Amino acid sequence: MRIGVVGPGGVGGIVAGLLARAGHDVALVARGAALDAVRARGLRIDSSLGEFDARVDAGPIEALAPVDALLVAVKTWQVPDVAATVGRMLAPRAIVVPLQNGVDAPDQCAEALGADRVFGGICHVLSWIVEPGAIKHVGEAPHVTLGAWKTPADERLEALKVALESAGVGCRVSRDFPAALWDKLLFISSFGGVGAIARAGAGALRTVPETRRLLVGAFEEVRDVATAKGVALRPDAVSRALGMIDTLPEDAIASLQRDIVAGRPSEIDSLSGAVARIGEQVGARAPIHTMIHAALLPQDRAARAPRPVKLATDR
C-alpha cells in the first residue's frame, strides 16, 4: 500500500515515521518549516521505540501521487478544510481514516469525500512536536482503533491494519466503533480539560482529592451524554479511564493543555465544547464540561485572533 498521512504532528509524525521505518511507501502532507526539515533530513523520531530519521515522500497535496489509504492527523478544526482538498490524493478505491480527538471528524470526512471511503479511526499515543519535522514519543507504542462508520469494514481496512501492525503500531478493528470513539472522548476531553484549567499533570490530577473528584465527575458526564445519545459504553468506562490516569507519568499532559499553555489554538470546541453541545441536544446536562469550555474559550479565542503586523517603523 501507498499510505498518505496529512499532518506531521504528534500523531501523524510518529505513525508516518514508524510506517516508513518498516519499509512502507509513505506520502506525508506537510508545508512550511516542517516540510523543509523533512525534505532536508527526513522525519526525525525520538521514541521509546528507537531514535531514527525516516525518509518519506513529503510535499503539499498537489505534489503527491495518489495513495491507497489516507490517515488524516490534523487538529479537529482543520478537518473540514482538509477533507475538501485531499480528494485529488485518493486512488479509485482509496480509504480515508481520520484520527482526531472528538466525535465529529468521521462525518465531516464522509460528507466531503463519500461515505464509502471513510472509516473510523482513533489513535492512542503520547507524542508531540519538538521542532518542525521532529517528534518526541514517550510511553507505550501507538495504538490505533479502526472501525466501520457509514459503510461496513472490508478488505481495504484490513490491509491498513496489517500495514500498521507490521510497523509496530498496535491495531484492532472495533465491532462497535461509535462506542470506541466516545470512550476516547470520555478520557481525553476530561483529562485535557481538567488538566488545562488546573495547569497540572496526571500526578496532581490523581493525588489531589478535590481535583480527582472533579476529574471523575467529568468522566461521568461524558458517559451520561453518550448513554442519552444511544451509545453503549462499557459499564466500567469511568473506572477504566481513571485507571489510565493512575498509570500515566506524573508530568503527562494532554495535547489540549499543551496548546492552551503555549498560546496556540486548541481543540476545546471539539472536546468539552462538544460534550456540552451534544448534551444539550440529547437532554443530558454536563455542567463540568460546560464550565471547562467557558473557562478556556477566552484563551482559545485570543490564540486565534489576528496579530497585527509590526512594521520596521513601529516603535
**How do the domains of the chain map onto residue ranges?**
2-175, 179-303
Which residue bears the cell 484563551?
299
pLDDT of residue 89: 95
Asked whether the beta carbons of 276 and 295 are under 8 A apart, the reply is no
Q: Name the CA dihedral angle for 257, 122, 3, 15, rounded to a multiple of 10 degrees.
A: 50
Sheet with strand 67-72: strands edge to edge? 57-59, 25-29, 2-6, 67-72, 90-98
pLDDT of residue 12: 96
Q: Which of 152, 190, 167 is nearest to 71 (CA)?
A: 167
Would you place residue 308 in the very low, low, confident or very high pLDDT band (cuts 50, 70, 90)? low
- N-terminal to C-terminal alpha carbon distance within the chain: 55
315 pLDDT above the threshold of 50: no
CA distance 147 to 166: 19
Taking only the tens place, the pLDDT of each residue in 243-290 is 999 999 999 999 999 999 999 999 999 999 999 999 999 999 999 999
pLDDT of residue 139: 86
Taking only the tens place, the pLDDT of each residue in 116-166 is 999 999 999 989 999 999 999 998 899 999 999 999 999 999 999 999 999
Q: Report domain 179-303's class.
A: mainly alpha
Would you place residue 41 in the very low, low, confident or very high pLDDT band (cuts 50, 70, 90)? very high
Model pTM score? 0.88
13 pLDDT above the threshold of 90: yes
CATH of the structural domain 2-175, one choice from 3.40.50.720, 1.10.10.10, 3.30.200.20, 1.10.287.110: 3.40.50.720
State what percent of residues in the chain have pLDDT above 70: 97
pLDDT of residue 309: 54
Amino acid of residue 26: V
Taking only the tens place, the pLDDT of each residue in 186-228 is 999 999 999 999 999 999 999 999 999 999 999 999 999 999 9
DSSP of the chain: -EEEEE--SHHHHHHHHHHHHTT-EEEEE--HHHHHHHHHH-EEEEETTEEEEE--EEE-GGGS--EEEEEE-S-GGGHHHHHHHGGGGEEEEEEEEE--SSSSHHHHHHHHH-TTTB-EEEEEEEEEEEETTEEEEEEEEEEEEEE-SSS---HHHHHHHHHHHHTT-EEEEESSHHHHHHHHHHHHHHHHHHHHHHT--HHHHHHSHHHHHHHHHHHHHHHHHHHHHT----TTHHHHHHHHHHHS-TT---HHHHHHHHT---SGGGTHHHHHHHHHHHT---HHHHHHHHHHHHHHHHHHSPPPPPPTT--
Amino acid of residue 297: L
- Mean pLDDT of all residues in the chain? 95
Q: How far is CA 312 from the centre of its chain?
A: 39
